[in-house]
Amino acid sequence: MPPAKRKAADDGIGRASKRSTPAPATPQSVDSLSDDDYAESEDEGLDEEGGKIKLSAAQAQRQKDQKAAITKLNKRTQFSRISRLTGKSSRLFGQKDFHDLGLKKDHENRPIWIDARVSEGSSKGPKITLESFAPNASKATDLLTTIAEPVSRPAHLHEYRLTEHSLYAALSVGLKGDDIINALEKFCKTNVPDGIKAFIERNTLTYGKVRFVLRDNKFYVESEDDEVIYKLLTDSVISGCKAAGAEVQTGTIQTKATVIQGTAGAKGQTQVSQQQGEIPRDDPAAENEAMIQALRDEDDDEDSFRQTHSFEIAKGTRETVAQRCLEIGLPGVSEYDFNNDKNNPNLPIDLKPQTQIRPYQEKALSKMFGNGRGKSGIIVLPCGAGKTLVGITAACHIKKKIVVLCTSAMSVYQWASEFKKWSDVRDEDVTSFSSSEKKKFPGEAGILVSTYSMMCIDPEGPRCAYDTKNMLQWVQSQEWGLMILDEVHVVPAKMFRKVQDTVRAHCKLGLTATLLREDDKITDLNYLIGPKLYEANWMELANQGHIAKVQCAEVWCPMSMEFYQEYQKASSRKQLLYYACNPIKFQVCQFLINYHENRGDKIIVFSDNIFALEHYAKAMMKPFIHGQTSNKERQDVLENFQHNEIINTIFLSKIGDTSLDLPEATCLIQISSHYGSRRQEAQRLGRILRAKRRNDEGFNAFFYSLVSKDTTEMAYSAKRQAFLVDQGYSFKTITHLQGMDQMPNLMYKDPRERMELLSEVMLVSEDQGDLEKGANNLWATDKGPRGRGSNKKKGLTGVRRTAGSLAEMGGGGIMAPIYQERQRGAQTADKNSFFEKEKRRRTALEKKRRAEASK
């Protein structure tokens, strides 16, 4: 008895005494870190050539943490001792007392624990903990990834949760409720708690009763179960979503609204259902019994002729109906029996013979096509793990009209070329629909690649171009076999939900690396697309060499005195500028760039803040890209970064967060970011996961997050890391970079330089302060620069303002000329020498490419 109890009660506490990363991680992230991580951090990575990193302050912090944890632990041990003596553990442990669950004799051979608590109404389901080092752990992992949601998967203890959605996903793969319970019983160290069994049973009974099908380009809700149809039709929400044609005047709603498929006897069946439906439903047990029976019957004659009842739903109501079905416990599934679909033309497409699918990609696809039909759902793979190929393979299975939606025009181009690269599809059958290219495929079937925003245009809108309207109407008139949704986490956005009305597809496949949003809309995907079918383990893929291994570090940069004073005075908005431009951070960045360039790394520096981005880049004479950078210049910079030995570092704004493919990049430095966005952090990390050199002996990619100490940035940083920590990454905290002070040409060593920077930053914030006050400049009515190409003007305004305002500052007069000169010098040197020289070559290359493309 005691082991079970202690385990459950101490979960996390005992381990915390050896915790690896010091504060300021969130409790969640700290608990998920492993013991070994710290040991690694001391003898690794950076300290090869004098760039030794000392962890002294971090160690001190750790010791403090340890002490606190030990105190806590002692308290806890006392409690459990008392409880053992008194036998009144329940009072002390409350809901966490699991001692009567009963530990199995051979518990050591079983890898999982189940938390018996099932909290009703909470969005989190029961927790399952997997000891990944235990025997049978890999089999248990297979089971858990199928039936549960991975919450956190660091080195040793993995946390999963059973949720209704995860169970639905399991059922869609063909498991039954009993199978799930039996399998859990096999792996669980204790007896599976009754509450958990009940939870599973409750959530697996009604699965598959309702289906959404597409016929003649109309959506139908279909079920074999008369009662289910009755229940749907009498539901307050769903009844309102019936198509107008199915409307009836008299009281015989069910019969007339129910479109009967199959045998002639179906009509009688429906009438029976009507009568059954009138029986008061106060015996759910009996009802459930009937449903199970129905399910069994269905299983028995899987492939025989089945009776189904269905009714059409009105245009644009699919989402509402799907959501409602989920709410009333009748989750709808949409499966596409593409092999037997004779109504839609086939598309001749297969993978090229030399195309190889990786095992995990195959696994993901097997979840989708498990029973020979195409299930709608979401596949989660880390950046660089070949999401595109998964999508293409799915398309090759279904072989019908395919539509691919992505977030940017750039991705459209990429998807189209990937299709041509991996599959034998004819070039003319792959067409793009974006602002620049509006083409229909010539044959009956084909592949259309487009963007979400394109699909969301209102074709009747006054500003809609003729071609666009034409294309949209064509898209709407088609019955698509498969819709691939790239970066599917954007779909819950209010605007992008509209794509569901424009594109009517039998089957939907969502792809993403980061299935998370900072709002609570991510669960909406369950009814918008389908369940999460597969989620890869980042660490596992890294260990197998499919993606690069990454060392993550958070570098704490103290604020310089002057900056900290101003920081404290500033409003929260201006604070951001102060901690982004912290001169110490600048020095750290300079040092790290220098260090990694000498190692032969290619470095990307990310900054969300455009001012900081430009400032850093110009001062260090590195090329940079942000939203206002023209397309040509972007290509310039990226091309050079990839192939020019002289350009080893580029600065990117959040423009580079997603869908940039730079396999040369091996090191990433983040100097400013978007609050606590976990998605951004993960996707930035994704930029270096496809590093070409990833399989070199002992290769590591590096990810640094620079954080200004004692600022709000610390808290955001901790939050941002949560997702990656759950994926098994551990962040080391670096508080001192040895050798930095000795570095030659280190900037901002001179206090005067810092003051100069400070006044510059202060003026920027003042500039923004003006903005707050009134609609008088830059962004307002003034016809000030806006949108593309306004970069130069904006910069100039800034400089002019600087000069004017400096006069008002005490002692500022000395700085003003210095500042202006440097600014101008940096600008001209940077622009002319680098860009002008490359421009001609790039334009020539571009022309050549265009010519080839048009052939």
Partner DNA sequence: GATTATGAAA
Partner DNA sequence: ATTTCTTCATAATC
Binders of DNA among residues 590 to 619 (CB under 7 A) are: 608-611
Q: Return d(Cα 567, Cα 709) in angstroms, integer.
A: 12
Residue 409 binds to DNA (criterion: CB under 7 A): yes
Q: Return d(Cα 363, Cα 420) in angstroms, integer.
A: 24
- In the Cβ-directed half-sphere of 264, how many Cα atoms lie within 13 Å? 0
| Among 157-165, 223-231, 622-630, 641-649, the segment contacting DNA (CB under 7 A) | 622-630
Residue nearer to DNA on the CB measure, 86 or 473: 473
> Closest approach of Cβ 818 to DNA, in Å?
25
Give the x-and-dash track for 729-768 against DNA (CB under 7 A): ---------------------------------------x
Residue nearer to DNA on the CB measure, 102 or 769: 769
Q: Return d(Cα 795, Cα 824) in angstroms, integer.
A: 11
Which amino acid does the sequence have at 761?
A: V
Give the x-and-dash track for 553-592 against DNA (CB under 7 A): --------------------x-------------------
Residue 316 binds to DNA (criterion: CB under 7 A): no
Q: Return d(Cα 601, Cα 633) in angstroms, integer.
A: 23
> Closest approach of Cβ 589 to DNA, in Å?
18
Q: Return d(Cα 754, Cα 560) in angstroms, integer.
A: 9
| Among 115-123, 355-363, 405-413, 692-700, the segment contacting DNA (CB under 7 A) | 405-413
Residue 407 binds to DNA (criterion: CB under 7 A): yes
Residue nearer to DNA on the CB measure, 630 or 828: 630
Give the x-and-dash track for 659-698 against DNA (CB under 7 A): ----------------xx----------------------
> Closest approach of Cβ 148 to DNA, in Å?
29
> Closest approach of Cβ 759 to DNA, in Å?
19
User: What is the CB neighbour count within 10 angstroms for residue 764?
Assistant: 20
Q: Return d(Cα 490, Cα 402) in angstroms, integer.
A: 20
Give the x-and-dash track for 453-492 against DNA (CB under 7 A): xx--x-----xxx--x---------------------x--
Task: Select from 669, 769, 715, 712 the least CA-distant residue to 564.
Answer: 712
Find the binder of DNA among 91, 105, 494, 773 (CB under 7 A). 494
Residue 115, CA distances (Å) to 120, 255, 806 in order: 14, 47, 64
Residue nearer to DNA on the CB measure, 495 or 809: 495
DSSP-assigned beta bridge partners for residue 507: 482
Residue nearer to DNA on the CB measure, 190 or 653: 653
Which value, in Å, is the radius of gyration of the alpha carbons in the chain?
30
Find the binder of DNA among 163, 223, 423, 451 (CB under 7 A). 451
Peptide bond into 24 cis (omega under 30): yes
Residue 635 binds to DNA (criterion: CB under 7 A): no
Residue 410, CA distances (Å) to 119, 366, 435, 453, 496 in order: 45, 30, 11, 13, 18
| Among 197-205, 451-459, 553-561, 754-762, the segment contacting DNA (CB under 7 A) | 451-459
Residue nearer to DNA on the CB measure, 355 or 791: 791
Q: Which residues contact 208 (CB under 8 A, 6 or more apart)?
A: 171, 172, 295, 298, 333
Number of residues that bind DNA (CB under 7 A): 45
> Closest approach of Cβ 412 to DNA, in Å?
8
> Closest approach of Cβ 475 to DNA, in Å?
13
Helix (H) or strand (E) holding 597: helix 583-599
Q: Return d(Cα 377, Cα 368) in angstroms, integer.
A: 7
Pairing of strands 624-625, 649-652: parallel
Q: Are 393 and 365 in contact (CB under 8 A)?
A: yes
- Take residue 25 and report the two structure tokens written for it: 């991680």
Residue nearer to DNA on the CB measure, 102 or 676: 676
> Closest approach of Cβ 634 to DNA, in Å?
8
- Take residue 156 and report the two structure tokens written for it: 């040793």
DSSP-based three-state secondary structure for 326: helix
Helix (H) or strand (E) holding 554: strand 550-557
> Closest approach of Cβ 397 to DNA, in Å?
28
The residue ranges that bind DNA (CB under 7 A) are 407-410, 434-436, 451, 453-454, 457, 463-465, 468, 490, 493-496, 573, 608-611, 626-628, 630, 632, 653-655, 675-676, 768, 771-772, 783, 785-790
